[in-house]
Structure 1
Amino acid sequence: MRDDETGGPVITRLQTTLPGARRTEFPPRPSLAYTFLLVPAGTGGSQRLPLELVRRDIAGDHPGLPLMLRIRVLDALNGDPVTRAVVDIRHCAPDGETVLRGAQTTDPQGYAEFRTVHPGWLPGQAVHLRAEVHLGGYLAGGRSIAHTGRLYFPETLTAQVAGLPPYRDLGVARTANDDDPELTGGGMLNVVPRDRYDLTCGLLAGITAGIATTAG
């Protein structure tokens, strides 16, 4: 089944990998093993988010290794799903210059999902994407409570991606996870190849983010 908006497979809540199966058709469900707390960034007004940024497909026609990302937002106090929060993500494109960005609201189970590409990288920073979660009137430019953090990629997998085009032509030395002091304050994504025998088929990633819903 295809998504009419993106042309890609429809994402469901089911994990369909079977023992011995070659392909994983849907992103891994974020689990407590891949949970981190987003840092409150304060309360305030914001500029209205441009409507063109409210999108699930943030890569557009940028070349790169396809990445399907699922983020689940939970209340850090009681573990309940946080619904109708705005998840705003951005990351460096594989060219090392363009910033790819998009925002989605969480569903009744706290999920927000994106189609993008594996990020490129900047000097001195491990490969990551930045996530912000907003409660309140963020989309309309009203007052909102913001939480922010970096999401990192497993080092072994990133090293393999670095050998693929267009990443191998980036011309910027890649900083390993262990060499980035900011990594200790971020979260590690659960990332699996869509096809365990062919990395170029793309990646599936998931993480659970805890936020303090009463932060002020």
Structure 2
Amino acid sequence: MSSSSQNPEAADRLSPQREAEIRNRRYDEVTPGPWLVADDQHGTPLVYVERQSSEGKTLARILLVASGATEAEVQFVCSARDSVPELLAELATVRAERDEARAELAKYVGSEPTVAEEMAYLTRCLDDVHAVCDGAEEESLRWENPLPVPEWVPVVREAADGVRPEAKAQDTLPAWLFQRFVTDGTWGDLSADDQSYWEHQARAVRRAVARNGFKAKGATS
């Protein structure tokens, strides 16, 4: 079975061979248009062109006597004189643009990163964002009288985690860590700064779990 029978649309496409046949018709040697139509005294359609003589008179030169042809057929022949070269020129332009686009696309096809590489890059970016937030938070909490954690820290951290304000759920891990390691007091009795400290520890635990382990002391990212 031929490829054209397998794909009906293929038979409708203009093949390079067919295009070459059309171009080889040597339209530059055909009488320039516009080609006009008129009937002779017997009602037979004539295809002719008008030219100006050296004396300035308009002369008619008959090209075809279309005996037996319909008016539509004659008009089609006349219009083809200019339409076919115009369509061939447009086709050449479109194909040149197509080839240029293909060449540009070839610069990127096959060189784009894999999904795993993209995910690894995004993970490194998010780790860096969290590291900046953690550094700012630790700088505030390291004093005997802790300073307020900068307001931008939780906002940036939530954005990096993809947390939407309307979708935030209560995080119980900070309170669990506090009750696990501190024997006296309750979570509700803690100050905002103390709760922020345990929230920081909870985030550190979650990142350690995501990395399958805590970083060793002195390790660099």
Normalised by the length of structure 2, the TM-score is 0.19
Q: Which has the higher strand share?
A: 1
Normalised by the length of structure 1, the TM-score is 0.20
